[in-house]
Amino acid sequence: MAAFSERMGLLFLACLLLCLSATQAVDRGNFKTCDQSAFCKRQRAMKPGQSAYRALLDTLELSDSRLTLQLINDNNKVRLLLELYRLQGNMTRVKINELKPLKPRYEVPDVLITDPPTEPLSVLSQDENGVVLSLGAETRRLIVSARPFRLDIMEGPQVLLSLNSRGLLAFEHLRLRKDTLSDKISSTVGSMWDKIKNVFSSNSQTDPAGAERTEDSDTADQHVEEKAADGESDKEDEQPGEWDETFKSHTDSKPNGPSSISLDFSLPGVEHVYGIPEHADNLKLKTTDGGDPYRLYNLDVFQYELYNPMALYGAVPVLLSHNAQRTMGIFWLNAAETWVDISSNTAGKTVFGKMLDYVQGASETPQTDVRWISESGIIDVFIMLGPKPTDVFSQYASLTGTQSFPPLAALAYHQCRWNYNDQDDVRAVDQGFDDHDIPYDFIWLDIEHTDGKRYFTWDPNKFSQPRDMLQNLMDKRRKMVAIVDPHIKVDSGYKIHNEIRSKNFYIKNKDGGDYEGWCWPGSAGYPDFTNPEMRAWWASMFAYDQYEGTMENLYTWNDMNEPSVFNGPEVTMHKDAVHGNWEHRDVHNLYGFYVQMATADGLIQRSGGVERPFVLTRAFFAGSQRFGAVWTGDNAAEWDHLKISIPMCLSLGLVGISLCGADVGGFFKSPNQELLVRWYQTGAYQPFFRAHAHLDTPRREPWLFGPENTALIREVVRQRYTLLPYWYQLFYHAHRTGNPVMRPLWVEYPEDVATFAIDDEFLLGRDLLVHPVTEEGARGVTAYLPGSEVWYDVHTFQKHNGGQNLYIPVTMSSIPVFQRGGSIIPRKNRPRRSSSCMESDPYTFYVALGSQKTAEGELYIDDGHTFNYEKQRQFIHRRLSFANNVLASSNLAPDAQFSTASWIERIIFLGAHKPSAITLRMSDGSESPVEFEFDAAMSVLTLRKPGMNAGADWTVVLR
């Protein structure tokens, strides 16, 4: 019987895969619209107007760092508790929960890196209409209006942000179902009558109303009062989808009933908002009037559509607003299914009366309104007040952490497909890169490398000697990534499954048994990664004596961790599955976050805490940046998918996830030669650079498309490797500050309105501007060069003025990249087979002189793979500066200790004048002449072999 069941399961899976293979694009009917999501439909039916909530000012309590205040819904008399915190770093936290919920509501753990430090709050004034609080700065205030309840954050006369200004605060309080409630009322009344009889029978003088009460009776009585006061409750109970909901063949039981929350924010003076990834859409978020809201609900979406608000693999509930005066952010800390509505309006239509009429007059001031809707949990929102883009990045990083500092090799080129067939195939592909003189660092293995989709194993026939395979790669100073997914084959002969089951670590179904769904292995269990004991056990499985056949050059890829459940609703887990005390609906968007967390911990622990991990994840949440890399999922070999990779990664960078990339060439379908080359040229200038392809696509290793295309791909991959020193220092800064590596132009030019909607070009750090060619048959592109500085074409060294749209003719070898005047960028220009082989190679500094004939930059060096930079301060960090004809290298970290064999091979000045002589001065006072060449036509000065060590103090003087 068991064998029959297994055969039927495999048949089901085969049919499913056949359907997937035959599908040309996502079947949108498999995924809900707002109208098909009961709580979204209920909430969205609520139109802007006067709020039902009123602040009870007599309940206000203020401590040094926290204000609490009760809110009451005048329609149903339910009370909420409002908490306000002023946080360090110019942030405000707003929490709203039920005052007396029937049971606790979910509050997201583990995402914040610490309890955010607070600063004192003080009351400036108070009357019957509201209270005014100081937010530290003399002119920055928070106004709490009582009737109706609303919050306004102001700076001087300007309203920065309003909360509940449109009256869309809605908090579905937990309540008993109608039949259960009737029983509870009878029970409570009976209990109270018994107490009254007991009191009087004992001749007590105590007022019956003062009889001892339990917390349960308090809560029940409150809900009795609510029921009596709320004439709509019976109707509410009868609304479809509150206590159960069916989508297609799946029914979601809702034992806790309706529990959704909603809150609106108004942003006067704002027309541009960004963030809330992941969506395959433009960088600037669109208004959602007349369509669906943006959805945040981690889903396995097969070959996703572009330019729509459908949910994808990850969810980061962070939205940034920007205008020429200010950048701000809203972080909605909720892990349940969430929808975000965006609309544009004018300030006078939605903000309160005379004050704004006086401040802003009757003009049509632009305004963006944002409404967040989540299925469960509480309202917990962080308002990041900037004012500069970099301030918002550091504010958000102080809450959720910064991008993990990846091993240097992770920033190099990765070669992947589903799947390399066996060890001989791996060896042949590896040799192919050497034969064609193309560098690479990582080769990847997808699910077929395992023994029957049993993760932490190897196929005994195809990968029988994994350590030999890994050693062969190590001998060439290369590495491998193998996939480890979080769906575990239900098989009594499989150690991983048996241990998870014996430890009771599987997620449960609503009836208490282990939850099972279908995924690649067939019937699969899903470990409960919200359980810290489960995460610790999972981490221990990466130890070399547990994960047999592994070595230190094997890293990990977590896929399908939304979680993907082929036979589940919307290809994911049932919301009424159970994680300990919580339903899956409460924690859904955290699942992938926890999988990557546990995996990264495992890679760190296996090395005794010495080595930095590299873990790629498909599903993610706020804070996932702490654990590794993200990619944009199952894209297609189409030009529009190439184009959309730019805004998708830009959006992720804005919310802290800098290590982002898209499958080069497209996962589905087969790119023609032009598209493949253009994708390599784009991917080489995005943070995570990996080629990947579907099982059913023809092989597409870089040398399979003819010598001409091989040469083009070889050249752009080598360009990536020459820039690794610059990439590495950008990620060092991202790790230290939270600033994105790949960033929109407006981040560096926040007052230039022309940059606000640009998403077909981008900056790497401050100093490189990239405009990939993403149009088929393009003969030219138009790039916007921002600012008042000059920009140099990195290939030709031609100089262009900023503040213009520049038309650039292109051929198939063209990659429009510009270096900012006033910058110094280090490169390593010797081609090698891998980044590790470049460790001691010499540097070339590119000094692009600005209009003032000055420039500055940095050089960061460490061992490239351990935590010693952090634990033992073993690194080199130097400032490079050019002014008054002197180029100097000075130490930015005098307390750090590290040595390097790398030296300075060349220094190239762009926009230079010809000197009469050049002298090198070392810190010991010694001097020596430096040979140079000068190209008068291009104003390029080249210093050859000055020869100083990259970690030394020195100056070069141009006479």
560: left (phi over 0), alpha (psi -120 to 50) or beta: left
For position 200, what pLDDT does the model report? 35
Q: Would you call 434 a catalytic residue per the annotation?
A: no
Is the pLDDT at 937 greater than 70? The verdict is yes
pLDDT value at 358 more than 90:
no
Number of H helices, E strands in the chain: 20, 52
Please determine, for residue 487, whether its predicted confidence score (pLDDT) is greater than 80. yes
pLDDT at res. 25:
74
pLDDT digits (tens, 9 = 90+) for 719-757: 999 999 999 999 999 999 999 999 999 999 999 999 999
Distance CA 954, CA 890 (A): 7
pLDDT digits (tens, 9 = 90+) for 75-105: 999 999 999 999 999 999 999 999 999 999 9
Q: What is the mean pLDDT of residues 217-233?
A: 45
pLDDT value of position 566:
98
Exposure of 433 by Cβ count < 10 A (0-12 exposed, 13-18 middle, 19+ buried)? buried
pLDDT in tens, 759-789: 999 999 999 999 999 999 999 999 999 999 9
**Structure confidence at residue 372 (pLDDT):** 98
Catalytic annotation on 194?
no
Parallel, antiparallel, or unpaired for β 780-785 and 768-770? unpaired
Percent of the chain with pLDDT over 90: 87
- For residue 1, pLDDT over 90 is answered with no
What is the Cα–Cα distance from 263 to 371, expressed in whole angstroms? 6
User: What's the rounded Cα separation, in Å, for the pair 188 and 938?
Assistant: 89
Average pLDDT over residues 32-59: 97
Evaluate if residue 10 carries a pLDDT over 60. Answer: no
Q: What is the 3-state secondary structure (H, E, C) of 102-124?
A: CCCCCCCCCCCCCCCCECCCEEE
Q: Which of 914, 913, 901, 894 is nearest to 950 (CA)?
A: 901
Q: What is the mean pLDDT of residues 577-597?
A: 98
What does the pLDDT read at residue 197? Answer: 40
Query: Identity (one letter) of the amino acid at 759?
Result: D
Q: Are 368 and 267 in contact (CB under 8 A)?
A: yes
Mean pLDDT in residue range 301-318: 96
Confidence of residue 227 (pLDDT cuts 50, 70, 90): very low
Output the pLDDT for position 137.
77
Question: Using one digit for the tens of pLDDT, what is the confidence trace for 274-283?
Answer: 999 999 999 9
Report the DSSP pairing between strands 886-891 and 823-827.
unpaired
Per-residue confidence (pLDDT) for residue 189, from 0 to 100: 44
Low-confidence winner among 57-66, 357-366, 617-626, 912-921 (lowest mean pLDDT): 357-366
- Of the candidate ranges 41-50, 199-208, 682-691, 882-891, the one whose mean pLDDT is the lowest: 199-208
What residues does 660 pair with on adjacent strands? 630
pTM: 0.93
pLDDT of residue 12 exceeding 70:
no
pLDDT value of position 180: 60
What whole-number distance in Å separates Cα of residue 629 and Cα of residue 661? 8
- pLDDT at residue 136, rounded to an integer: 86
Per-residue pLDDT, averaged over 223-244, amounts to: 59
Neighbours of 736 (CB within 10 A): 13
Residue 360, pLDDT > 60, answer: no
Q: Which among 634, 663, 760, 841 is annotated as catalytic?
A: 634
CA distance 721 to 718: 5
Chain segment 827-879, per-residue pLDDT in tens: 999 999 999 999 999 999 999 999 999 999 999 999 999 999 999 999 999 99
∠ at Cα 298 (294, 299), nearest 5°? Answer: 100
Q: Are 822 and 428 in contact (CB under 8 A)?
A: no
Give Cβ neighbours of residue 179 (< 8 Å, ≥ 6 apart): none
pLDDT attached to residue 662: 98
Is pLDDT above 80 for 4?
no
Mean pLDDT of 653-657: 98
Which listed residue (152, 264, 559, 663) is catalytic? 559
Distances (CA, A) of 907 to 627, 850, 882, 914, 924: 37, 16, 12, 14, 21
Mean pLDDT within 810-833: 98
Determine the pLDDT at residue 61: 97
Q: Omega of the bond prior to 558 within 30 degrees of 0, cis?
A: no
Give the mean pLDDT of the chain: 92
Name 854's Cβ contacts closer than 8 Å, sequence gap at least 6: 822, 881, 882, 883
Q: How confident is residue 213, by pLDDT bands cut at 50, 70 and 90?
A: very low
Cβ(873)–Cβ(912) under 8 Å?
Answer: no
Please indicate whether residue 355 or residue 159 has the higher confidence score (pLDDT). 159
